[in-house]
Structures are given as structure tokens and as C-alpha cells.
């Protein structure tokens, strides 16, 4: 929502570049995203070293890594829905509020957010569905460590691999529900 707020009124090459970067996880294969996240969050990289040594939150082969991978891969869906909701608001209404002395914060919280609630809710649902089903990037970043970094899609995969289809079906039904 914050990034959508920063970009929804802007146009230009920099915004186009930023939006291309934001939507990159949609077009790249999940394993490619996982590989890029491995590079970024490796303990030898500046970001990974900061996370591990300063914040004491290692990312690689941890549940934190699974969460970060899921959020990054699902983020574009939230962004796209939210920014379309913001851009779909009648600008005359917003300009009227400005002429009546409303601050940009008041306009955002009292007009833009309430008028975009369907788009935001849609974005939340799509991002959640994508995140809960994330497989490739999660496997690359967090691995599969039973009872530590297993997610439902990884659990299903490894249950099927072990010939435990009945148990896999249980988790499939949970995800479908």
C-alpha cells in the first residue's frame, strides 16, 4: 500500500523501471527468483551479512527465508491491485478535497483508502493465495528441513515423493479449502 501510494500519481521512465522491477517476480520462474534471493541474502552478501550479524536473523535455510521468499514472490499481485484501485478513483473528487483544504494524508486516509478497499482486499487475497502456494523460490531459499522450513507445497511434494499420497491429499484439501 505504501509503495502504491508513492507511485500511483507519478509517471515517467523511473516509475516504469520501478514497476518493472516490482513485477519481475511474476515473469521470472520461481527458481530464478529463489536463486536471486540466495545471492541477495547469502551470509557473504551485504544484505545477508546485515541480517545475520546485526539483526541476528539468518535467512538462508530458515523459516524467515521461506517467509521472505513468499512475500517477494506475491508482492507484485498486491501492488498491481492496489495501484489500480488508487488510479481508478475520480481525480475531480480528490481535487475538490484539496480545494477544501484537506491535506494529502487526510485525502489518502479518508478518501483513497476507503474507495480502494475492494482493490486492496482483492490484492490481499491474491497475494495470500500466491504466497501460500509458493514452491520454487521457497525451496531454493529455505530448503526443506522437516519441522523447521517445510511449507504446505513442499510438504505435499515430499509426501508424494515418499509415496504417501493419502497424507498429501489431506494437505491438498487444506490448500484448496
25 close to 73: Cβ distance less than 8 angstroms: yes
Fold of 2-143: MetI-like fold (1.10.3720)
Q: Give 161: exposed, middle or buried? Use CB within 10 Å, 0-12, 13-18, 19+.
A: exposed
What pLDDT is attached to residue 150?
Answer: 87
- pLDDT tens digits, 60-108: 999 999 999 999 999 999 999 999 999 999 999 999 999 999 999 999 9
Q: Give 124: exposed, middle or buried? Use CB within 10 Å, 0-12, 13-18, 19+.
A: middle
What pLDDT is attached to residue 165?
Answer: 95
Joined together, the cell numbers standing for residue 99 give 480545494
Cα gap 127→76, rounded to integer Å? 8
Cα gap 134→54, rounded to integer Å? 28
| Residue tagged 484539496 (cell numbers) | 98
For the chain, domain boundaries: 2-143, 146-177
CA atoms within 13 A on the CB side of 9: 11
Mean predicted confidence (pLDDT) in 131-151: 91
> pLDDT grade, residue 147 (50/70/90)?
confident
Mean predicted confidence (pLDDT) in 124-138: 94
- pLDDT tens digits, 26-41: 999 999 999 999 999 9
Percent of the chain predicted with pLDDT > 70: 100
> pLDDT grade, residue 46 (50/70/90)?
very high
Alpha carbon of residue 34 to chain centroid: 14
Amino acid at each position: 500500500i505504501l509503495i502504491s501510494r508513492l507511485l500511483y500519481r507519478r509517471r515517467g521512465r523511473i516509475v516504469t523501471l520501478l514497476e518493472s522491477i516490482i513485477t519481475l517476480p511474476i515473469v521470472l520462474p520461481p527458481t530464478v527468483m529463489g536463486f536471486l534471493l540466495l545471492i541477495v541474502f547469502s551470509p557473504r552478501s551485504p544484505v545477508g551479512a546485515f541480517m545475520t550479524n546485526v539483526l541476528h536473523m539468518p535467512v538462508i535455510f530458515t523459516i524467515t527465508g521461506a517467509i521472505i521468499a513468499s512475500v517477494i514472490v506475491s508482492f507484485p499481485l498486491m501492488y498491481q491491485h492496489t495501484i489500480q484501485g488508487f488510479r481508478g478513483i475520480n481525480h475531480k473528487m480528490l481535487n475538490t478535497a484539496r480545494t477544501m483544504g484537506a491535506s494529502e494524508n487526510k485525502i489518502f486516509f479518508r478518501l483513497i483508502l476507503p474507495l480502494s478497499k475492494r482493490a486492496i482486499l482483492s490484492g490481499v487475497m491474491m497475494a495470500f493465495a500466491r504466497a501460500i502456494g509458493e514452491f520454487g523460490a521457497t525451496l531454493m531459499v529455505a530448503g526443506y528441513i522437516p519441522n523447521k522450513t517445510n511449507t504446505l507445497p513442499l510438504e505435499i511434494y515430499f509426501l508424494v515423493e515418499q509415496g504417501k499420497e493419502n497424507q498429501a491429499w489431506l494437505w491438498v484439501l487444506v490448500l484448496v479449502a
